Chain A
Amino acid sequence: AALGLYFPRKEYLENVYIDEPAGMPLLRIRALKDSHEEVAHFHLCQNLIISRARSHENNWFQIREKTGVLYLSKSLDREDFNMLSVGNWMPLSKVMLYVFLSSHPFQEKECDSATRTAVFLSLINATAPACSSLTARQLCFTEMDLSFHIKENKPPGTFHQLQLPSVHHLCQNLSISYKLLAAEGVPFRYNESTTGVEVTQRLDREERERYELIAKCTVREGFREMQVEVPFLVNVLDEDDSPPFLPNGTDTADAVVEFSRKEGTVLSTLTVYDADTTPIYPLESSRKKYTGTIITDDPWISETFRVEHIFDEIHFSPNGSQVRGTRHEYKLVLNKSISVTEHRSFQLDVLVNDTEFHGPERSVMLHFNVSILPVSIQFSNITYQFTVNRNAERFAQIGKICIENCMKFRGVNITYKLLSPNASCYPVSILQGREDKYGTLYVNDSSVLRRPECKEVQYIVQAMDKQSRKHTKTLLTVVLEGTFLKKEEDCPDSCAISKHRAECEECGGLGVLTGRCQWRQGSGKGITTNYSTCTPSIKTCPDGICDVVEGRDPAVCPQDCTSGNIIGGHGKGIGNLGIKSGHGICYCFPRQNCYCEKDDIKEQLCDDVCKTVI
């Protein structure tokens, strides 16, 4: 800013009483300078702001242009007081004035300089109290806390007046003296002759940013002496006077692109420190002050990479005291997904620039050693072999198909497909979820399993990368084993319907691997994720995830997939699907309700009467 003068406070506070005489000083405002030559001129905006909406012409208050003493130019009588109080919202009437500051005499009565401070005057509906009725606290200090801010790197000067002008004016028979209690070497001094507090030297925020002193006041009236102490705080305001630097001198980092190739992947991070503070509010302007730019002529590089800048506050301890500083992190990020075939390495330079620092070392260069490695699309096993029981039902999950390193892939879309060699025996299929990196092999046609001529079926599995169309194949053998057993009659088609262990384990249902449902015995304590239930396969159901095969038919695993009502103590799963936790035994009627309840009649299933019948 062109104007170096500033106020050491954002607002001042003072009381005004009815019928105080014209000429009465209320408050002395001090300003600090940018250079010794500057002279401060104070000016009042001729507008009293009453409540937020209402305002009134200022007929009562004036400020001395040279000294900053705010005084009553006209006594405030009861009528004035009532007029200013009308429409005031708070129980206490307050008016606000703006005081402006300029380095030259005010020409016109302008009201819009950026350098201003607010003075709040509490209008008190009484005449000024007698000096004898005031406490030492009231005689020495106002209600305003003594807290100031001083800019670093500015010349010394007086920034506060301890003596209260109104008290000094009214209570002349009292002796009021002040002292500033401070540790040795603190750059503040109380000047007894002016009652002003001075900062005695240029401050450096990077050395120390907060000074806590005590203002002590002694009031003497004849032989009576009273003392009062209040905290006196000075915060040092920061300006950009430190260049960026590298922690441990590290300016180089490796950035390897291999399995993660997705847009948005963070490849590597380098850190830059700065002893200055950086406000995170407003965020965008701080980002603009501290830039990070990729230096390159290669359009491919500027399209493929971007730099993300985040920063946070850290603490430095220059000499025992803690001061705030900034850690800037520059992350090299993929700006688009990279094809699996891409293969190159190069050095990528990022120029970091502290735009508001005015020294020669305002920028540092960061280097990323980028290596983009191709990934191969291939199966690690030469062949897959799975065995399937002839009693398996439709939607039984046989196994997973996955190419080498497939679970590490990000931003590589592999699709799996079965190429069937003979059309007559074709019991299995492959399904792949939208986000799945693997294919799930499952029984698609259980009637084929029962046919004696189908014994060992061979397939070719193909995996293909969507983007590059690169693909690979391998052999898959499905061996049918076991003998087909006739199904129990009266069994439901879903395992989840069974409420008891016995009926569960003697029936089959959709998705079973060996012709029988499996019983999961829960812990039985309250509402738990480990509830008791009947399922086609404990491995896949319920596991809290409604996978792509289970999602095909609501009868396979409603415990993971139901979106209907659940009656009884339970917790719902992610996205309101399935039963995440339940009380006792949970069972479901597919496409209808699920129930979770404690099985209280377990022992009574066969009571004395029933035994007698047997």
Chain B
Amino acid sequence: LAGPPSPPGLAPPGWRVPVDCVRANELCAGEPSCSSRYRTLRQCLAGRDRNTMLANKECQAALEVLQESPLYDCRCKRGMKKELQCLQIYWSIHLGLAEGEEFYEASPYEPVTSRLSDIFRLASIFSGMDPATTSKSNHCLDAAKACNLNDNCKRLRSGYISTCSRELSATEPCSRRKCHKALRQFFDRVPSEFTFRLLFCSCKDPACAERRRQTIVPSCSYEDKDKPNCLDLRGTCRTDHLCRSRLADFHTNCQATFQSLTSCPGDNFQACLGSYAGLIGFDITPNYVDASTTSITISPWCSCKGSGNMEEECEKFLRDFTENPCLRNAIQAFGNGTDVNLSP
């Protein structure tokens, strides 16, 4: 029984615009009752799961009071000042409220309201050409050229490329940690009209697709000696607030759904591509697995070998990257320069 189409890009009725968690924390600190309850709740959450916590009267009271405070549904913004601090506050409340083994977690980030069409408009202004008419050219090469013509993009791109390709010793091809940091800076600080063109350019020949695959310098940022189990990788990611948030954001915005035409939540390609790019530079960094032009396959560096009884869950986790119609449609739509036509 399919539901009615959801209102695209609009907040549901009764939905109030959340404040960011850093601000909410300040507001709460100014109110003695809120700040003491917040302290209590944080103690309640330390090392306990939701149900044992709720069994405690004091904890339950703290939770009820906080339900009315701005801390309760505060959110964070990608690339905001004090992003990490904001996420730490967010998870300090939500960690214990979530069930530990929840498969999908809700994103701590504000929803993305911009659309791919906004990017196309900008792209055609700065490149002086309509993306639809340049079907013969190598789009990935054009994207690199466009980036080099912008000081900020050029600086941060050459920054991560040189960091990621610096050989340390015969056994250590590069510093993965520094490479990831440089990649995160690039994707956080360069506007998406540049970064998306590099990541999601459409290709008709292997040379172009190889350039697309090489965008994030996969030999350093992606590949590793061994392929870990995907659930293990997810576990590692979830121990880190930033990585956990980005993964939750990806699951929120790219989780395929039957309830929309494009398979994307709210038909929002921009949000899915943005949260995909937000994963680059973390343990869970995804990339194109090969330079194929006909089929696009994306995966993090992991496999489901050795999953034991969790194989079904592992395959499900991996399929959200490798066989995700929302992600695939979003990448193709970006490459073709087509967005969903939104009826007003």
* Partner-B contacts on A (CB < 8 A): 10, 15, 17, 47, 51-54, 82, 85-93, 111-112, 122, 124-126, 128-129, 134, 138, 142-143, 147, 149, 235, 237-238, 277-283, 311-313, 324, 572-576
Contact = CB atoms under 8 A, between A and B. Distances in A.
A54 B306 contact: no
A471 to B, nearest CB: 31
A78 B307 CA distance: 45
B168 A138 contact: no
Contact of A280 (B52, B105, B170, B232): B232
Interface string B156-184: 00000000001111100000000000000
B231 interface: yes
Nearest to B97: A53
B72 A90 contact: no
Contacts of A125: 3-4
B317 to A, nearest CB: 12
Given A143-B258, A149-B312, A312 B306 contact: yes
A543 to B, nearest CB: 13
B307 A86 contact: no
A86 B55 CA distance: 25
A85 B14 contact: yes
Interface stretch (B5-13, B140-148, B196-204, B207-215): B5-13
Contact of B306 (A15, A47, A128, A313): A313
Contacts, number: 129
Interface string B108-146: 000100000000000000000000000000000000000
A237 B313 CA distance: 12
B3 A279 contact: no
A281 B231 contact: yes
A15 B1 contact: yes
B80 interface: no
B308 A124 contact: no
Contacts of A15: 1, 3
Contact of A52 (B16, B52, B105, B259): B105
A574 B309 contact: no
A86 B14 CA distance: 6
B265 A91 contact: yes
A281 B302 CA distance: 12
A86 B16 CA distance: 8
B312 A572 contact: no
A522 B33 CA distance: 77
Nearest to A235: B312
Interface in B3-45: 3-4, 6-7, 12-16
B125 to A, nearest CB: 31
A124 B98 contact: no
A238 B7 contact: no
Interface in B41-88: 51-52, 54-55, 67, 72-73
A573 B259 CA distance: 54
B266 A52 contact: no
A235 B67 CA distance: 41
B311 interface: yes
Given A278-B306, A281-B310, A312-B305, A574 B167 contact: yes
B229 interface: yes
Nearest to A126: B4
B14 A129 contact: no
Contact of B167 (A93, A128, A572): A572
B13 A281 contact: no
Given A134-B1, A575-B168, 14 more contacts: A47-B54, A52-B106, A53-B72, A53-B93, A90-B252, A91-B12, A92-B6, A112-B52, A122-B3, A125-B3, A126-B4, A128-B1, A324-B311, A576-B166
Nearest to A135: B2
B97 A52 contact: yes
* 7 cross-chain pairs, A with B, having the tightest CB-CB distances, nearest first: A279-B308, A280-B306, A91-B6, A281-B232, A112-B51, A277-B308, A124-B3
20 contacts: A51-B106, A52-B97, A53-B67, A54-B67, A85-B14, A91-B12, A91-B266, A92-B259, A111-B51, A124-B3, A125-B3, A125-B4, A126-B3, A149-B312, A277-B307, A280-B229, A282-B232, A572-B167, A574-B170, A575-B169
Given A53-B72, A138-B2, A575-B168, A89 B107 contact: yes
B106 A89 contact: yes
Nearest to A83: B14
A111 B4 CA distance: 34
Nearest to A580: B167
Contacts of A278: 306, 308
* Chain B, interface residues (CB within 8 Å), range: 35 or more
Contact of A574 (B12, B51, B67, B169): B169
B191 interface: no
Given A91-B266, A279-B306, A279-B308, A85 B229 contact: no
Residue of B103, B259, B309 most packed against chain A (CB within 10 A): B309
Interface in B249-267: 252, 257-259, 265-266
B94 A52 contact: yes
Contacts of A576: 166-167
B15 to A, nearest CB: 7
B4 A572 contact: no
B206 interface: no
A287 to B, nearest CB: 13
A277 B312 contact: no
Given A122-B3, A138-B2, A279-B309, A82 B14 contact: yes
A47 B13 CA distance: 23
Contacts of B55: 111-112
Nearest to B93: A53
Nearest to B167: A574
A437 B104 CA distance: 55
Contacts of B257: 92
A235 B311 contact: yes
Contacts of A575: 167-169
B94 A129 contact: no
Nearest to A17: B1
B3 A54 contact: no
Nearest to A91: B6
Contacts of A280: 229, 232, 305-308
B1 A138 contact: yes
A238 B310 CA distance: 10
Q: Which among A15, A134, A574 has the greatest number of chain B C-beta atoms within 10 A?
A: A574
Given A52-B106, A53-B94, A54-B67, A573 B3 contact: no
Nearest to B230: A281
Contacts of B73: 51, 53-54, 87
Contacts of A235: 311-312
B1 A142 contact: yes
A279 B102 CA distance: 19
A313 B51 CA distance: 36
Given A15-B3, A91-B266, A85 B93 contact: no
Contacts of B7: 91
Contacts of A54: 67, 72-73
Contacts of B169: 574-575
B69 to A, nearest CB: 11
A92 B312 contact: no
A219 to B, nearest CB: 14
Contacts of A134: 1
Q: Which of A17, A143, A278 has the most CB of B within 10 A?
A: A143
B306 A85 contact: no
Nearest to B303: A313
A278 B312 CA distance: 15
Nearest to B8: A91
Given A124-B3, A138-B1, A279-B306, A85 B12 contact: yes
A52 B1 contact: no
Contacts of B259: 92
Interface in B307-340: 307-313
Interface in B218-254: 229, 231-232, 235, 252
Contacts of A17: 1
A128 B4 CA distance: 11
Nearest to A281: B232
